[in-house]
Amino acid sequence: MSTKCEHCDYEGPKETFTYLYNIRLDDGASWHECPKCHGWNFLSAADGSSQSFEETARGYKIHSDLGVGVSKPI
């Protein structure tokens, strides 16, 4: 599975990109660091493709210290 860095265009196996962390445990994408430029890439777990974090994050439910999907009272 080949992955391409969105910052420097380095292309190589997903395994060469260092895993950093998942934003959410129930999400199939996570942050990985490019071995060449050390830029952060938001990669799909299924196929290693780069995803737009901004587009993906728009679908996330609201989180608060009260629980998932619960807005804080004003």
What one-character-per-residue DSSP string does 63-74 give?
EETTEET-PPP-
Res. 54: pLDDT tops 60: yes
24-28, 51-55, 64-68: the lowest-pLDDT one: 64-68
Question: Can you tell me the mean pLDDT for 27-54?
Answer: 86
Spatial contact of 29 and 56, defined as CB atoms under 8 Å apart: yes
Predicted TM-score (pTM) of the model is 0.69
Res. 8: pLDDT tops 90: yes
Express each pLDDT in 39-49 by its tens digit: 999 898 878 88
